[in-house]
Structure 1
Amino acid sequence: MVKKVVFYTRNIITIIAPFVLLLLPVDFFDKGDSICLSKSLAGIECYACGMTRATMHFIHFDFTKAWEYNKLSFIVIPMLFPLWIKAIYEIQNKKLPGLLNKLM
């Protein structure tokens, strides 16, 4: 029972999250202090610093601002798309088609 609840919760959040982020304004996460431990404790930016802000700008098609916040967003965000498709198929109890099934 607990496994089913976790399964559905994880997949539903994965499916809905991009739509919620699209509804938020593009500069929603631009204000405020960083919560990164590396930046807070050592004053050093890690590779993930700015990823949330970059993601927001990327999905709103503001690619120049996304590039300024974190260049790795251009690698990470396209890699999230197959995971999103996988969640859609898993919630329907279907197998992924062709190449996606082999990759996942």
Structure 2
Amino acid sequence: AGARLAAKMAEAKAETKPEPKPEPAPPDPSPAESAPHDHEPARIPYKLASALAATAAAGIERTELLLWLISRGTLTDGQKLDDMPQNVIDYLAEHPDKAAGAIKAWKAQPF
């Protein structure tokens, strides 16, 4: 599925005109600065949010891309996105514009 997605992304990129580049992501904080704090909600990586927006603009199927991103993504606190339950993944596939809230709610769940 990853190779097929990469081919779709390359094809979509070749067919679309270049868009203005987004603001660069802020540099990664030092390990001491990136330690999770109880009072801070989890932040979605800039790359995840911008990738969801770019792929929607390129016409790539959301569910396939979302699964690809989740399998490789990591939150700023170090937790891998592929740890999230299937119902959250399904929700994100249906509502990519609500990714920030869905991931924050998932992170707030007591385990």
Computing the radius of gyration from Cα coordinates, the structure with the larger value is 1
Normalized per residue, which structure has more helix?
Answer: 1
TM-score (norm 2): 0.29
TM-score (norm 1): 0.31
